[in-house]
Amino acid sequence: MNVRQSYHLRLFNRSEGFMHRFVIGFCYIVSICSAQTWRPPQTELVFRALEQELQRSLGKLRLERAPAPYYIEYRLQYRAALVAQAVLGELVEMADRPQVMLTVGVRVGTPEVDNTNVATGGVLLFGAGSSRETYRQRSLPVELNDTLLRRELWLATDAAYKDAVEQYGQKLNLLRTRTRRDTTPDFRHLAPAVLADTLPVPLFSSAYAERLCRELSGLFRSYPEFVASAVGFEYLPTRTWYANTEGRRAVKVELFTGVEVVAYAQARDGTPLAQYYSVYARTPAELPSLDSLKRAVIALAERLRAQQQAPALEETYVGPALFEGRAAGELIAQLLVPQLPLQREPLTDQPFFLGRGQSLVRRLGSRILPEFLTLRAIPCQRWLGGTPLVGAYCVDDEGMPAETVTVVERGVLRQLLTTRVPTRWTAGSNGHNRAGAAMVGVVEMIPDDAVPGVLERARLRQQLLELLRQRQLPYGIIVRSVMNLNILQTILARTTLGKYPPFVREGSLPLVAAYRIFPDGREELLQPCEAVGLSVRSLRDIIAVSRERDVYNYLAPAVSSSSEAPYLPVSLVVSDILLDEVEVRPREGDVPKLPIVPPPFLQP
Amino acid sequence: MRYGIGICVVAVGIASAAEKASLLAILRQELERNAAVLRTQSQPAYFLAYQVTDLQTVTIEAQAGKLRRSLEQRSRWLDVDLRIGQYELDNTRPLRESFGFVERPYPVQLPLGEDERTLRQLVWYATMQAYDKAAEEYAKVIAGRAVRVREADSVADFSQEQPRREQRLSPHPTVDTAFWGQRVRRLSVLFAGHPWIYSHRVSLQVSSAQKFLVNTEGTQLAWSERGIFLSVAAHTRAEDGMELPLYRTYFAFDFKELPSEERIRQDIERMIELLRRLREAPILETYAGPAILSGEAAAVFFHEILGHRLEGHRQKDPQSAQLLRDFLGKQILPSFLDVVFDPLQRYRDGVPLAGSYTYDDEGVAAQRVVVVEKGVLRNFLLNRTPIPGFAHSNGHGRRQPGMRTVARQSNLLVVARESVSPEELRQRLREECRRQGLEFGLLFDAVEGGFTFTARTIPNAFNVMPLVVYKVYADGRPDELVRGVDLIGTPLTTFAHIVAASSEVGVFNGICGAESGNIPVSASSPSLLVSRIEVQKKAKSDERPPILPPPFVQSE
């Protein structure tokens, strides 16, 4: 199979109801840039070295009284990283750090039973032993020539092979003491293939990154009552080369950029309040214009200011809730996305790993969403309308073409997202290996327009009001922002010096912008509260969705513990979601006192 | 607790000293605003200090003639020291149930510019967090005292020191990264023809820190610290799996003080040859008998075995064994040895010393401290945490930004009042072997560092990890390179066996890691003859060398 993708940078003025409106903004900067370092090695050089070492190792690498490798794979990545952060108009950090990383995979035994899919006290998770060379995410020189690259491949392959032999021995020992119910092979061979998914890498000016962060963060100077705020920017172009002993070769370029904004304040009673804004794209040119980013930051700041005066939810609310826009995205991101990648439960004698497989897989063929919703993985779709889909890729990290997968068809779970790890439920990969483990890239929700549960946005809100009247509820809940876990644990934790609660209880969603909506249509912003008791099963209780859909780009926490990346860009295309019944509670527990000394520039 | 000494560090840039003039004023203003309120609370903050470290770093690292990385960074960090209670008893009082390493707070990064608005907002917020944390600690201290037996010592938690006011800033140096990039590439390429050296690095790390400190006692300081480390590291593995690393570090305050490229090239060639011989060297079994510690090896030995035990806060920590506390005024070393810590001494025998500074991180002027005089223990290294008999700091409060300051080492100088020539020291070793009826003694030529245990609950042993050890035969046969042993023992017993020192001094510059983070230090010593040391087998990996020959090489 030969998938050859190339596309040109496109800039759009978005019009429909998507949440990010991208306009031509940064293109003049891109053209004058060049501060950023981007000097990846030549593809010919890389493939020649990878192939020579694959060939040499497969033919000759063998320990006495141990099986030889039957399969070897290499993944080499060159990544540039331009990172900036500013506070109140002042630059705090600016860095340009290119890096080269190598990951080697070795299989010994036979495809029926090999060294993988086993967990014995952490070997599978942590890779190399203490004095062994590293072979997962091994850091290589940023300047590479043939000699140096082959040396690194030689050392890493040797270490990966030795680990593989140890794992294989441990697995055989485990198998001697038990009768396997699941006899699915560990691997299946594939035919050779050459894939390419490359595109030009626009470089970006660090001067403009600085200006962007300064100007956006400077807007918070008009809000002296806020305790802390920050604006972060990053641009991470990555080129990946993949080669294995089956003759599979792939080269791809992935581009990722983002702006993250956080602000933190306290309500009059001390309740911690945080608001965030994030926007991600592939290239800085695809980001919203500076003016439009400024408007987003001001909207964030105004919401936080309003929330300082906002009432708290007095008691637990149980009733319908409408998740709009980004909030609907986070709802799906936190409840459903982690369940979609298929993970094979490892053979293990360690209690820690028991039951670590996929839970949703046992519900294949069952209804997990309402009948009017279909869910499709569209990993190779780069745009929706004019909005870039940051989770998109056309070749996965095992060199497999990214396939479109109907995950849920009219509410019924049909397929999960897979890698080349065979399972009893799936024959092969549908191209969802990302950073070494199964992971979502792009998923779209497709509402069936012909069904009554799919409504225009305005009608959806009307339906919520109707429900309130039917159930004689004094008010309902509209959620417009749910805290994102990446934001919570990275930029917000750093900015607040850990003061904002950094953990989220399982089954709860921190609602950072929830509104009470009264039967007469009036809305009232609430202090932060929590939706509790939620799980993927809660999505069966979606009673209606909007016909219009939004793109939600975000950084998703890795699902598998064997992932080499803590967060990966993911794109969701989701409708607004009306849930039949949600339990929303006010924040429980004590709240920190207000600072003893007022902020320095706050007028009494 | 385990402490290590190794190699590292960083920093550089361009920033005028005048540009920083207002930073102290901004810090002072916010300090006074916050302190005025915090000292009136029911849990009053009686002391508040801000330290800002403006750090520029340049790291250039090469392997086989190619750059591994080349980074230039500048960052600025804030440390807030806030104390609740009184000098006599405050929130920092160690609790018996606490663990040795202090919880590290979120680092506070400040903007690189001098904008008052931003700086004051960030400083204020960090102060509020520091107050909350100190208030929590103080409540625990008070509660702990109510239910526990009082400590045997009744010394204050914080010393009273004279305020200091001085501004002595140097601009961050500029680094010609192109020039140094080429040089480290050229040096690293020397390893390229030796495929059995499995990894190697040549790196230049330049660090320049501008430090600013204000406190509520009136101290207001600005000073600079700078260091350049040029490091060479290479590693191979013997056929039996033993790891064989070698390191060489050159430290300088200024580029012109670094050795010439030619000299480093010669050192690298010697390192390669030594690695080759080490791979084939026989393994030494356990041994007890006389040995010479080369100057550099003895220096690390003293840093690990004596230096860490002299750090003042350890004499107060209920978890620490406080091994040396009762030896004050008593003989712990032979009378021909003095041990001095002197951050003001920048060179020894012309070699720059990495543990040099003018003020410590509590704003106390650096001082020369004679800790051992004619073998008698006289003093400890002190920050502003008093210990019995020592009410004041001697300028050894040090930390990495983001950590809480404790007493740390600076430039450790072992000074011999009587010495012999290196040749005579070897002769004395042979005589000692014959006297003990041993075929050979040992020469520890280089060590990579070590660790030592100072906690009460485990034996107070040390383990120093030699890199290069020779058998020195009593009958005068040529020395024989051996491998595979660690130098072990208990401190006071080992000190008692030091019998002679040579006139030749070795200097070790490196980075020391302990409770308050990584800081540059030096240790220097004459070679020492020890009448009895013990070695044990090194914990050896059973990892085999790579199975295949290196690429481009059919057989080695």
Domain ranges of chain A: 25-309, 317-585
CB of A585 less than 8 A from some CB of B: no
Residue A455 Cα distances to A258, A450, B412, angstroms: 32, 10, 77
Give the pLDDT confidence score for residue A259 in this predicted structure: 98
Instruction: Please answer yes or no on whether B132 and A155 come within 8 Å at the CB atom.
Output: no
Specify the higher pLDDT residue, B470 or A504. B470
Instruction: Please answer yes or no on whether B550 and A91 come within 8 Å at the CB atom.
Output: no
For the stretch A477-495, pLDDT in tens is 999 999 999 999 999 999 9
Specify the higher pLDDT residue, A14 or B20. B20
Model confidence at A394: pLDDT above 60: yes
Give the pLDDT confidence score for residue A20 in this predicted structure: 31
Q: What is the mean pLDDT of residues B39-44?
A: 96
Instruction: Please answer yes or no on whether B111 and A90 come within 8 Å at the CB atom.
Output: yes
Give the pLDDT confidence score for residue B459 in this predicted structure: 64
Instruction: Please answer yes or no on whether B111 and A142 come within 8 Å at the CB atom.
Output: no
Give the pLDDT confidence score for residue A156 in this predicted structure: 97
Instruction: Please answer yes or no on whether B199 and A155 come within 8 Å at the CB atom.
Output: yes
Q: What is the mean pLDDT of residues B242-248?
A: 92
CB of A494 less than 8 A from some CB of B: yes
Q: What is the mean pLDDT of residues A490-519?
A: 90
- B151 band by pLDDT with thresholds 50, 70 and 90: low
Tokens of A203: 């470089």
Nearest to B11 by CA among B173, B171, B169: B173
Model confidence at B202: pLDDT above 80: yes
For the stretch B390-428, pLDDT in tens is 999 999 999 999 999 999 999 999 999 999 999 999 999
**How big is chain A by its Cα radius of gyration, in Å?**
25
In angstroms, the CA B234 to CA B247 distance is 7
- B159 band by pLDDT with thresholds 50, 70 and 90: very high
Give Cβ neighbours of residue A177 (< 8 Å, ≥ 6 apart).
Answer: none
Angle between helices A206-218 and A290-309 (to 10 degrees): 30
Model confidence at A182: pLDDT above 50: yes
Give the pLDDT confidence score for residue B106 in this predicted structure: 81
- A11 band by pLDDT with thresholds 50, 70 and 90: very low
Give Cβ neighbours of residue A356 (< 8 Å, ≥ 6 apart).
Answer: A119, A343, A345, A346, A561
Specify the higher pLDDT residue, B550 or A603. B550
Residues on chain A touching B546 (C-beta within 8 angstroms): 154-155, 158
CB of A322 less than 8 A from some CB of B: no
Model confidence at A24: pLDDT above 90: no
- B90 band by pLDDT with thresholds 50, 70 and 90: very high
Nearest to B64 by CA among B261, B219, B200, B173: B200
**How big is chain B by its Cα radius of gyration, in Å?**
25
Give the pLDDT confidence score for residue A59 in this predicted structure: 87
Mean pLDDT of chain A: 89
For the stretch B269-315, pLDDT in tens is 999 999 999 999 999 988 999 999 999 999 999 998 899 999 988 87
For the stretch A288-335, pLDDT in tens is 999 999 999 999 999 999 999 999 999 999 999 999 999 999 999 999
Q: What is the mean pLDDT of residues A77-85?
A: 95
In angstroms, the CA B36 to CA B32 distance is 6
Give the pLDDT confidence score for residue A31 in this predicted structure: 32
Q: What is the mean pLDDT of residues A196-222?
A: 93
Give the pLDDT confidence score for residue B319 in this predicted structure: 67
Of B106, B108, B128, the CB nearest to A597: B128
Residues on chain A touching B124 (C-beta within 8 angstroms): 595, 597, 599-600
Q: What is the mean pLDDT of residues A360-366?
A: 91
Residue A495 contacts residue A264 (beta carbons within 8 Å): yes
Give the pLDDT confidence score for residue B540 in this predicted structure: 63
Closest A-chain CA to B45 = A596
Model confidence at A387: pLDDT above 90: yes
Tokens of B542: 């059973």
Mean pLDDT of chain B: 90
Instruction: Please answer yes or no on whether A142 and B67 come within 8 Å at the CB atom.
Output: yes
Specify the higher pLDDT residue, A83 or A130. A83
CB atoms within 10 A of CB B453: 17
Closest A-chain CA to B40 = A596
* Substitution target from A143, A152, A157, A491 for chain B, most B beta carbons within 10 A: A143
Look at the alpha carbons of B354, B359, B364, B370 in this order and tell me if their dihedral is positive or negative. positive
Of A95, A147, A595, the CB nearest to B552: A147
Instruction: Please answer yes or no on whether A130 and B199 come within 8 Å at the CB atom.
Output: no
Model confidence at A107: pLDDT above 60: yes
In angstroms, the CA A256 to CA A553 distance is 11
Instruction: Please answer yes or no on whether A129 and B105 come within 8 Å at the CB atom.
Output: no
- B491 band by pLDDT with thresholds 50, 70 and 90: confident
Percent share of chain B, pLDDT over 90: 75
In angstroms, the CA A516 to CA A478 distance is 6
Block residue for tokens 């046992």 = A362
> What does A73-109 look like in DSSP terms, one character per residue?
EEEEEEE--EEEEEETTEEEEEEE--EEEEEEEEEEB
Whether the complex's predicted ipTM is more than 0.90 is answered with no
* E strand or H helix at B52: strand B45-63
Give the CATH superfamily of A25-309. PmbA/TldD superfamily (3.30.2290.10)
Give the pLDDT confidence score for residue B552 in this predicted structure: 79
* Substitution target from A53, A74, A87 for chain B, most B beta carbons within 10 A: A87
Model confidence at A25: pLDDT above 70: no
For the stretch B307-357, pLDDT in tens is 999 998 887 776 666 668 788 999 999 999 999 999 999 999 999 999 999
Model confidence at B450: pLDDT above 80: no
In angstroms, the CA B303 to CA B355 distance is 12
Give the pLDDT confidence score for residue B153 in this predicted structure: 61
Instruction: Please answer yes or no on whether A161 and B547 come within 8 Å at the CB atom.
Output: yes
CA distance to partner chain B, nearest, from residue A141 (Å): 3
